[in-house]
Amino acid sequence: MGGSEAIRPRTSRLPRRKFRGRAKPWRDSGVLESFQHAAKLEASGERQSRRAEQARAWMWNLVEEGLRQAFRGAPAVAGRVEELEQDVEGLKTTPAAAARVLLQAFKNS
């Protein structure tokens, strides 16, 4: 995800000693600007759009992880992985051919 189109936040780090004796150091710290930035993202709908995009990406990451675990945990696949990896590394077969064998073994299990 890139930067916001609605607003670019201003950030800065200010040393503590600069705030000595001030009643409201947050005014100079950028906190107010951060709240304003969040409000603008909310008002423009960009925050909700980002959250939806993140949720969708998270869902697919979980699906992919679950499939990977199921695939590697399938006895028909686990029994062939080491042999096929060695064949690929030894140039006895192509990665595509080995993948097809493993996927077929998974489908048939």
- Give the pLDDT confidence of 97-106 residue by residue, as tens digits: 999 999 999 9
- Give the pLDDT confidence of 34-54 residue by residue, as tens digits: 778 888 888 888 889 999 999
> What's the whole-number mean pLDDT along residues 58-70?
97
In the predicted model, is pLDDT for residue 18 greater than 60?
no
pLDDT at 58: 97
pLDDT at 4: 61
pLDDT at 45: 85
- Annotate 10-74 with DSSP letters as a single string: ------GGGGTT-S-THHHHTHHHHHHHHHHHHHHTHHHHHHHHHHHHHHHHHHHHHHHHHHHH-
